[in-house]
Structure 1
Amino acid sequence: MIRKRLFHSLLGLLLAATMLAGCSMGVEPPAENESPPPKAGAEGGTLVVARMSDATNLDPHFISTINAASVVHQKVYEGLVKRDANMVIAPQLALSWRQVNDLVWEFKLRQGVFFHDGTPFDAAAVKKTLDRVMDPKTASPRAAMFDKIKEVKIIDPYTVQFLLEKPFAPLLSILASHEGSIISPKAIDEYGRELSAHPVGTGPFLFRSWEPGRQIVLDKNPHYWGDQPKLDRVVFRVVADDTKRIALVENGEAHVAESIPVQDIERLSASNRLRVYRSEALGTEFIGFNVAAGPLRDLHVRQAISSAIETGAIIKGVYNNVGTQANSPLGPKVFGYSPSVKSYPYDLNKARELLAKAGYPNGFSIRMLTYDRNDRVTVAQVIRSQLKGIGIDARLEVVSYADFVTQIEKTRTHEIFVSGWGNATGDADYNQYNLFHTQGGGAGNSFQYSNPELDRLLDAGRVETDPAKRLAIYAKAQELELRDALLVPIRNLENLAVISTDIQGFSI
C-alpha cells in the first residue's frame, strides 16, 4: 500500500533543487561550527532551503514521499543513469548500456568512483543494491518496480547485466528514479534497516545529520568523481507555516522557500529581494470516478458530470493560473503524453441531456471525497457548486490523508474523489499501469475500472521498445480513459518556490 501512497502524495509536495551544484548564495548567520558564507556570486558557503515538511525516510528502498526522495536523490545517491534537464536518459554511474536482446540489458560502469565511506563502486555494488531491493526479506515497498528483473549478473568488475523475465521498456526510467539509487555495500551490511539514518552513496553531497522535524544537513563531497559542487553545505530546514517559511527568505535566514501559496505570487514577485521560481512539474490533478459505485456505473452520468465542470475556472479562481489546463492523466513532460487527447468540453445543456438519458432528469445525491489540504478542499467546493447547476448534490467529505488512502485503496467506499497523480520516473507506464490496469493496478486503481482492451494496450506499452510505437500505444490508452469518462483532468502541476535574488542556477 505504501507504494501507491507515494503516487497520491506527490501532488502536494515540491522537489528540492535537482542540481544544487549550480547555486551560489547570499548571506545568513553561520550555524555552530560552520564557516560564514561568502558574498553573493562567490562559491562555497551554505544554502538553506525552507521546506513545508520533513522527510520520513532516507533509504531509497523505503522512501514513500517525494520530499524525502528529493533530499538524497542526485545529491547523496546516484543511479546508473539519470534524466537530464530535457528529461532525456543520460549516463551517470554507467558510462554506457545496450540491450543484448529483449531480455538482457548490459551496463558498462564508470571506474574510479568511491562511495562516501571509501568503498569502491563496481559491479558487485550494483548487484548487492538490486538484490537487496528485490529480496522479499527486505520487504521494500519499491520492490515491485524491479519485479521484471530475474537476476543481476556480474560479467566483470565493471560490467553488469540485468536478466529480465520478460521485456520491460520502462527499465531505464526506473533506474533513473530514486529507487534506482546505488547504495554502498558496506553500509548495507553495517546498517541494514537503519540505513535511513545513515545514507551512503556516491553523490556530490555527503549526509551529515538529520534532526527529525527540524532539519537535514548535507556537506560537500570533496572526493566527488564529477564536477565539484559550488556549495560547502545544504540545509533543508522544516518550516510548516507558509508565512514563516517565506519570511525566512525575506529576512535572509534562508535562500529558498519551497511550496508557496498561489495567492501570494503577485506580492512576492514585486519584491526586490525575492524572485518567484516557476517550472513545469510532472503531475496532474483530476476529479476521479469510482465506476463501480451507484450512478457512476452509467457512462452517461460520468459524461454528464465531466461536461458540467469548468476546469478553466478552477485553474484561474483556485490556483491563480498556476499550472496549465490538463487534457489527460499524464503531464506534457511525461513520455507517452498525447496532446491530441481531448476531455469533454464544458456544456451544461449537454450535461442535462446526458443525465436525463441515464434516468436522472432531476439529478441525484452523491458523495465527493478529498483530504484536508486547503487547495483540494477549495477545488471540491467549487465542483460542488458547479454540479448544482445540473441538479447533482455532491456532499463533500473531507478526511485525513490516511483515511483518504484507506477509502480509495482498501474499503473502496468512495464515489467521486478529488485527487491527483505524480510521476517519479517520467514514463507513462508509472501512471498508466498502476492507475488503470485491471490486475497490475491493484490498490492504485481507485477508479475500479476494468477494460480488456486497455489492459492489452498497457501490457504492450511495457514491452514495446520502439519509442514511436510506444507513444502511439499510450495515445490510444489515454483516448480510452477519456472516452469512458474515468476522470476529469483539471491541471498540469507547476513547481513554485521563492528564491533570494542572490541565488543563481537553482532549479526544481
Structure 2
Amino acid sequence: MRNKGDRCLKPVPTRLILHSDETENGPGGMEPGGRNMNSWSRRLILGVTLSLALMIPWGAAKAQIKNLNIGIGIDADTLNPQEQTTTLIQNICDLIFDTFFFVKPDGKLEPRLATEYKPSPDGLTWTLKLRQGVKFSDGTPLDAKAVKLSFDRALDPKLKVPLRFAITMVQECVVLDDHTVQLKLKYPFAPLDQTLAMTLVAPISPAAIEKYGEDVRQHPVGAGPYVLKEWVKGDRIVLVRNESYWGPKPTVEQLTFKVVPEVATREAMLRAGQLDICYKPSPANVAALKTDPAIKVEMPLSTRTIFMALRGDRPLMKNKLVRQALNYAVDKKAIVKKILFDTAEPMDGTVSPILFGYAKMEPQYDYNPEKAKELLKKANW
C-alpha cells in the first residue's frame, strides 16, 4: 500500500475450463462485488468480473478520500442498467443504481431496496416489500409505481434490453400498495431472489425517464451511493457521492474513471501515481508489477470462465469418446502458465466455486495426450 498515492495490484485469476455445451456456462443470476470494505486501499485490477464496488471502502473509515482515479480501457456506451452488457459498465451502473438484494460472497442475500420477499406455494407469485423512505438521487420517491415502471420497461420487447432473457419468467409486476409489489411469473423459478440482485432490474427514476426518454442512458438517475457528475465521451466518467443515499455513505467523495485504451499506458500511469486503480493490466506484466514496492498484489477468486465449447449437435462431437479425448488433449495448466502467466486457475467445475450451483465435476480431465489418442482410436477417428 502506498501512502499518499499507494497503488495496489489485484489481479483476478480467471477460471479455465474445456467443456461441451451439454453443461451450460451462462451468465447466471448473480453479480460479483460488494460494498462492505472497512479499510482503504488502491488496487490494480485484472479481469472483468470483480465489481469495482468491492474496491471502494465502505462503512466506517479513519479518513475521507477526496478522489480516486481509475483507469479503464473502454468508454461506456450506455449507463442504463437495462442496456448494459459488459461487466465494466455493470460495475459503474452498480454505483449509480441499487438493486433489490445483494448476493454476498458466501452466497447469502443481503436486503437492499427490498426488505423481504415471499413466494406463493405454487411459486408463481412473489411478493416484495420495499424499503421505506428511499429516494432516487433526484429526490423522486422509490415506491412501488417506480419499481413497476422499471420492470415494465425491462419486459417491453420494443426496448433494447440485451439481458432480458434473464427475466423472461416474469409475466408482469403488479402494485399492491406504495411499498409492496407482486411479480407474476409464467412458470415457477426458484432462484428469482438471486435474479433480483442483478443490475438489470435496478429501478430507474421515473422522473428521469419522463425527462430524458431513451436518452436516459446518457443521464442515469438511480438510488445508488453515487451520482453522475460528468461524462466526457472518450475521456472520463466522474461520479460523486450521493449524500442522500439510504445506506452507509461511501468514504470516497469522487470517482474519476479515466478512459485509457492502451493497457501499457494504464500501467505506466499507475506506476507514476496518475492512477489509483488500473483496470485489466496485461497478465504478462503482473509478475513485474509485483516487484514494485508501491504495488500490492492480491489474487481473489473470479467468476469469469474461459472455455472452449464443443458443439454436441455436430456429427463428430456426438461421440462421447471424441469429446473426452479433446478434454484430455488440452493442457490447461500449461495455458495458465504460458499464456495467462499464472493469473488463472484450471477449473474443476462448470462455474467458479464462488457462484451458486458450483459442483466439482467427476471425472476430472487431467492432461493426458496418450489417453486422448487411445480414445480417438476407439472412436474410429
TM over 0.5: yes
Matches within 5 A, 1:97-176: 97-101=117-121, 102-176=123-197
Q: How far apart are 1:284 and its partner, in Å?
A: 1.4
Q: Does 1:302 align with 2:323?
A: yes
SS across alignment from 2:299: strand
Shift of 1:341: 3.1
State which of 97, 101, 107 in structure 2 corresponds to 1:77. Answer: 97
Give TM-score, length-normalised by structure 1.
0.63
1:124 alignment partner, SS class? helix
Q: C-alpha deviations, 1:74-98, integer Å up to 9, x for none?
A: x100111112243321100111112
One-letter amino acid of the counterpart of residue 52, structure 2? A
Give a deviation string over 1:445-499, Cα, whole Å, max 9, x none.
Answer: xxxxxxxxxxxxxxxxxxxxxxxxxxxxxxxxxxxxxxxxxxxxxxxxxxxxxxx
8 Å contact 1:327–1:342 — kept in the other structure?
no
> CA offset at residue 282 of structure 1?
0.9
In structure 1, what is the Cα distance between the partners aligned to 2:132 and 2:150? 17
CA distance in 2, matches of 1:319, 1:295: 30
Q: 1:92 aligns with which of 83, 106, 112?
A: 112
Question: 2:102 corresponds to which letter in structure 1?
Answer: K
Task: Give the letter for the 1:42 counterpart.
Answer: A
Which residue is equivalent to 2:273? 252
Please state how far the C-alpha of 1:293 moved relative to its aligned partner: 3.8
Secondary structure (helix, strand or coil) at the match of 1:268 reads: helix
Equivalent-residue separation in structure 2 for 1:53 and 1:23 (angstroms): 26
The structure-2 alpha-carbon separation of the partners of 1:137 and 1:288, relative to structure 1 and needing over 3 Å to count, comes to: closer
TM-score, normalised by the number of residues in structure 2: 0.83
Of the structure 1 ranges 230-239 and 320-329, higher mean CA displacement relative to structure 2 is found in 320-329
SS at the partner of 1:90? strand
State which of 56, 64, 68 in structure 2 corresponds to 1:43.
Answer: 64
What pairs with 1:195-344 in structure 2 (closer than 5 Å)? 195-293=216-314, 295-344=316-365
1:205 CA drift (Å): 0.4
Q: Which amino acid aligns with 1:77?
A: F
Matched residues in 1 for 2:312 and 2:56: separation? 47
Match of 1:57 among 78, 83, 100: 78
Confirm or deny: 8 A CA contact 1:60 1:178 kept in the other structure.
yes
CA contact (8 A) 1:14 1:258 kept: no
Structure (1 or 2) with the larger CA radius of gyration = 1
| Counterpart pick for 2:52 among 4, 17, 22 | 17
**How much does 1:164 deviate?**
1.2
Question: Deviations 1:181-236 (Å, cap 9, x if unpaired)?
Answer: 11111112222211110110011100112222221110111111111111111011
Give the whole-Å Cα distance in 2 for the aligned partners of 1:226 and 1:266: 39
Give secondary structure in 2 for the equivalent of 1:278.
coil
Alignment-mate amino acid for residue 203 of structure 2:
I
Which whole-Å CA distance do the structure 1 matches of 2:50 and 2:361 have between them? Answer: 29
**Structure 2 match to 1:379:** none
Q: Which runs of 5+ in 1 are unaligned?
A: 1-5, 25-39, 361-508
Q: Is the contact between residue 21 and residue 228 of structure 1 (CA under 8 Å) also seen in structure 2?
A: no
Over 3 Å counting, the alpha-carbon distance change for 1:325 and 1:20 in structure 2 is closer
TM-superposed CA distance for 1:272, in Å, is 1.9
- 1:271 offset after TM fit, Å? 1.5
Q: Give 1:321 shift.
A: 2.0
Is the 2:350–2:359 Cα contact (8 Å) retained in structure 1? Answer: no
CA shift at 1:173, angstroms? Answer: 1.5
* Higher share of residues assigned helix: 1
Instruction: Return closer, same or farther for 1:302/1:21 CA change in 2, 3 Å cut-off.
Output: closer
| Within-5 A mapping of 1:390-401 | none
